[in-house]
A and B are shown apart, each in its own frame.
Chain A
Amino acid sequence: MIRFENVSFSYSDSNYPVLENVNLIIPAGELALVVGKTGSGKSTLLGLINGLVPNFTGGKLTGEVSVDQRSIRDFPPRDFADLVGVVKQDPRTSFVTDVVEDELAYGMEQLGVGPATMRRRVEEVLDLLGLADIRNRALSTLSGGQRQRVAIASVLTTNPKVLVLDEPTSALDPSAAEEVLAAIHRLVHDLGLTVVLAEHRLERVVQYADRVIVVDKDAEVFADRPANVFATSLIAPPVVELGRTAGWTPLPLTVRDARKFAEELKVRLEKSKPKSRTNIPTKEMVLINKLNFNYGTLRALRNIDLNINDGEIVALMGRNGSGKSTLLSQLVGLLKPTSGELLIDGKIPHQLSGKDLINSVGLVPQEPTDLLISDSVSKECLASDNDADALPGTTLQIFEQLTNEVDENMHPRDLSEGEKLSLALAIVLAAKPPLILLDEPTRGLDYAAKKVLVNNLQKLSRKNHTIILATHDVELAAEVATRVILLAEGEIVTDGPVSEVLSSSPMFSPQVSKVLSPSHWLTVADVALALEELN
């Protein structure tokens, strides 16, 4: 169905090719999962399928890309609308109309499909993706999962043979992600659609993949069966790593496969316990007493009571819109409580500003680039030293400790996602705040970058910084948190040590705990450590 022949591509402002000599064939009816580090050229590969790259990005393409024997050299992207459906990571940026049903019809209107056919296809697709109940809703009122399904539905109405999805679940909470992936799975099975999907959170998607395409900057792009790829790949979901650690063959790819081996491992681990992560607290950092906050008539936070000590790493979890970000905004003083009391280190955050604020609390926002304003890394760091009244060079030094070597003269925009996050974190740390907040830090991060983040956060907590992170990423919470707070509709539903909360919740449990339940094991690292001690 999709054929890459000797494809090389380089962007016009760079001398190095992003993709070099790619040869791939994706047969019809398969779900191909594209994996690779950030910046390895995954998005470029996806963009080539309908010619958005190079038509919209510029750059030099050699070789041949064709879909269903139609070459992207001969037709512009719009002539692929009836063949390839493209869904972006954030569907909000690609919605053209304002109502679900109209959005579904938009593509067909452009193709001049007749009214009767249009009506029939809209009805079919509404049912296929379970959207019939929300057909008249305004797009701005949809939840994250619904939005993603509408975006998929809106490209399906033109009857494409190929669906291209770029990180469809990275912004979604676990249950919404499940909802979207189930829909995609059904499309592959019922309609025989060919799906090409890029995703960092492998633990969510590996079970659905027929074929894995590995994109690596320094090696040849290749495609193979998942079992073969993950036998050796450095990028692998936790369940595969658990299999490697425990020495299971054949290597399990899904939680279900792994459970067959679980009994044996449970016996081996019977006498061991996961290493405790808690640091000894020296003082109370956050005190929240009967906190309420309303957005207009919406009660975003209700009666929150919370005490957090220094040295704790707290993961705030819950659905999209459950109040996680609102609570972080309260803690950093961006929002003023409607009623109740909120103190950080004895101070009221919304009364602080300037230096007093950044010396007490720092927030790395969902888009770390929001914090970045200069046009080179070195200037950014100097500006930050200036803001924090720190010695010149402080921020740069912290940044270099957080990440690998980076060219100081680079534009922050050209850094990888992981490096951007490190830079934003370095800016926050330059002012030495005892309380550090992170909003959805692993969006767009690959496993390697995530590991770097986890290490950095653990180091900070050992220095008795308090860290609060809002996240959908169950595996991140399992790796790093000491305590998990589940929010729903602005209320605290559960609050407890990470091992208890995550191993007892069906939606928020990491893969390792799903395999080894009922027990308190959460991460591969914990299990590996215990096994080492046994030997």
Chain B
Amino acid sequence: MPPTQGRWHKPIALSEQRFLHSGAWWLWAIFLAVMAAGTTNPFLLLSIIAVVLLVVRYRKSDAPWSRSIKGYLIAAILVVFIRMILVFITPDIFGDTTLIVLPEIKLPVFFAGVKLGGALKANTLLYAFEEGLRLATILICIGAAQSLASPSRLLKSIPAALYEVGLAIVVALTFAPQLAQDAKRVRDAQYLRGRKIKGIKALTKTIIPVLEGAMERAMQLAAAMDSRGYGRRIHQSRAQRNLTNALILGGLLGILFGLFGLLGIFSQSRISSITLIIGITVSIIALWVAGNNASRSTYRPDTWRYPEFLVISSSLVGLLIFKSSDSTVLNPPTSPLAVPALSWLTLLGVWFGISAIILSPKPPSHHKKITEISNYKNYVSRKSAA
């Protein structure tokens, strides 16, 4: 309903309910993840988590896959927890503040240099917490992207050449929960026959029927897709297909080696950047060549309008501010023990990402109640049409 009063109206691109382009959400989340990767400051990391969760809270749709963020949160907590548990094995790596002294275990000679137990330093513990939190934050960013844009919607926007690969991934994603259901069914059946359902022997007995079921379902899905026209009308000669495949493979290898180089595995950084650039170019050419040959069309593709740019820039601007920050803010020293320093500007950079809530349109609501009135309306309109 368009607002009729008030001086300022929200622009239509923002007030209309629609899904933001899935690519935009993924880029937004990736920039935040990159931010998280570059810091161990717990205040900044917690800020990133807060920003991400708030945006998910206000911009996720009510479809089932929007709940995937929960799983990622649990995984994130586990990551922090496990990282901190590991400290207890070798507690006194560095630091000056001893919390407690754990009993030390002498290892046999051939483990020379490794010792278990000893004085547990607060510094080590803090360091482990920060490390764990960083990984957890990256996980949550990915989970947020998945909650905000379903993987199958992302499939609509990927280049035609990657359609097959993308489809395989999406189908695999829908298979995973079904496998779990199958496993439960088989275990139930074992129980109903009065057999043991715990232990390795029982486990091996469930695997085969579950895999059989999965195979059968894959065949059924393949038949269904075929009878609905999948794989039709792709008029590509063998030579053309080989060319595309070669280009894609070459491009990906280029990107891979380039990245390895930049990460410092090879010494020549200039050669690495050149390889990376060539790799990306070749990949783009490959996608373009393959895309020209596809004859598939896309139903209601995600549209790319200015809110998409705004959302991406909200986290990109943050990232730029962030990158220019002082290194003591980003990676505060844990020894000597102190409260990590903060700068207002860096914090602002992180919280800038939250503007995605205002800058993006609301997703449409799925679960409209089917009321008597709308049924009646349908009935009337059908009558008058006939």
Interface residues of A (CB under 8 A from B): 50, 52, 55-56, 76-82, 84, 86, 88, 93-94, 96-99, 101-102, 105-115, 118-119, 122, 127, 130, 132-134, 136-138, 140-141, 154-155, 158, 332, 334, 353-355, 357-358, 362-363, 365, 367, 370-371, 373, 384, 387-388, 427-428, 431
Instruction: Report the minimal beta-carbon distance from A352 to chain B, rounded to whole angstroms.
Output: 9
The answer to whether A78 and B185 touch across the interface, beta carbons within 8 angstroms, is no
The answer to whether A52 and B233 touch across the interface, beta carbons within 8 angstroms, is no
From known contacts A136-B366, A370-B185, infer whether A78 and B226 are also in contact, taking CB-CB under 8 Å: yes
- Tell me which residues across on chain B come within 8 A of A371, comparing CB atoms: 189, 192-193
The answer to whether B232 and A111 touch across the interface, beta carbons within 8 angstroms, is yes
The answer to whether A387 and B297 touch across the interface, beta carbons within 8 angstroms, is no
- Tell me which residues across on chain A come within 8 A of B241, comparing CB atoms: none
The prevalent SS among residues of A at the interface is helix
Is the C-beta of B65 less than 8 angstroms from some C-beta in chain A? yes
The answer to whether A373 and B205 touch across the interface, beta carbons within 8 angstroms, is yes
From known contacts A78-B227, A80-B227, A106-B228, infer whether A334 and B188 are also in contact, taking CB-CB under 8 Å: yes
The answer to whether B297 and A115 touch across the interface, beta carbons within 8 angstroms, is yes
Instruction: Report the minimal beta-carbon distance from A283 to chain B, rounded to whole angstroms.
Output: 23
Among B188, B193, B220, B232, the most chain A Cβ lie within 10 Å of the Cβ of B193
The answer to whether A108 and B299 touch across the interface, beta carbons within 8 angstroms, is yes
- Tell me which residues across on chain A come within 8 A of B169, comparing CB atoms: none
The answer to whether B220 and A94 touch across the interface, beta carbons within 8 angstroms, is yes
Q: List 13 A-B contacts (CB under 8 A).
A: A56-B222, A78-B227, A94-B223, A96-B225, A106-B299, A110-B230, A110-B232, A114-B297, A132-B378, A332-B192, A357-B194, A367-B185, A384-B193
The answer to whether A78 and B192 touch across the interface, beta carbons within 8 angstroms, is no
Interface residues of B (CB under 8 A from A): 63-65, 150, 152, 171, 174, 185-186, 188-189, 191-196, 205, 209, 217, 219-233, 295-301, 364-368, 370, 374, 378, 382
- Tell me which residues across on chain B come within 8 A of A136, comparing CB atoms: 364-366
- Tell me which residues across on chain B come within 8 A of A332, comparing CB atoms: 192
Listed from nearest, the 4 A-B pairs whose CB atoms lie closest are A81-B229, A94-B224, A105-B299, A110-B229
- Tell me which residues across on chain A come within 8 A of B374, comparing CB atoms: 133
From B64, B222, B227, A86 is in contact (CB under 8 Å) with B227
Per the bound structure, the CA–CA distance linking A2 and B217 in Å amounts to: 29
Per the bound structure, the CA–CA distance linking A446 and B210 in Å amounts to: 28
Per the bound structure, the CA–CA distance linking A110 and B160 in Å amounts to: 12
From A78, A84, A101, B230 is in contact (CB under 8 Å) with A78
Which chain B residue lies CB-closest to A370?
B189
The answer to whether A98 and B367 touch across the interface, beta carbons within 8 angstroms, is no
The answer to whether A127 and B299 touch across the interface, beta carbons within 8 angstroms, is no
Which chain A residue lies CB-closest to B61?
A136
- Tell me which residues across on chain B come within 8 A of A367, comparing CB atoms: 185
From known contacts A56-B223, A106-B228, infer whether A387 and B63 are also in contact, taking CB-CB under 8 Å: no
Per the bound structure, the CA–CA distance linking A5 and B295 in Å amounts to: 35
- Tell me which residues across on chain A come within 8 A of B194, comparing CB atoms: 353-355, 357-358, 387-388, 431
- Tell me which residues across on chain A come within 8 A of B188, comparing CB atoms: 334, 365, 370
Instruction: Report the minimal beta-carbon distance from B243 to chain A, rounded to whole angstroms.
Output: 22
From A84, A112, A363, B295 is in contact (CB under 8 Å) with A112
Among B185, B223, B301, B365, the most chain A Cβ lie within 10 Å of the Cβ of B223
The answer to whether A118 and B299 touch across the interface, beta carbons within 8 angstroms, is yes
- Tell me which residues across on chain A come within 8 A of B232, comparing CB atoms: 78-79, 81, 110-111
- Tell me which residues across on chain A come within 8 A of B233, comparing CB atoms: 111-112
Per the bound structure, the CA–CA distance linking A428 and B367 in Å amounts to: 43
Among B217, B223, B227, the most chain A Cβ lie within 10 Å of the Cβ of B227
- Tell me which residues across on chain A come within 8 A of B225, comparing CB atoms: 94, 96
Per the bound structure, the CA–CA distance linking A487 and B209 in Å amounts to: 33
- Tell me which residues across on chain B come within 8 A of A362, comparing CB atoms: 192
From B205, B228, B366, A138 is in contact (CB under 8 Å) with B366
- Tell me which residues across on chain A come within 8 A of B226, comparing CB atoms: 52, 55-56, 76-78
Per the bound structure, the CA–CA distance linking A119 and B299 in Å amounts to: 7
From B228, B366, B382, A127 is in contact (CB under 8 Å) with B382
Per the bound structure, the CA–CA distance linking A56 and B150 in Å amounts to: 31
Which chain B residue lies CB-closest to A56?
B223
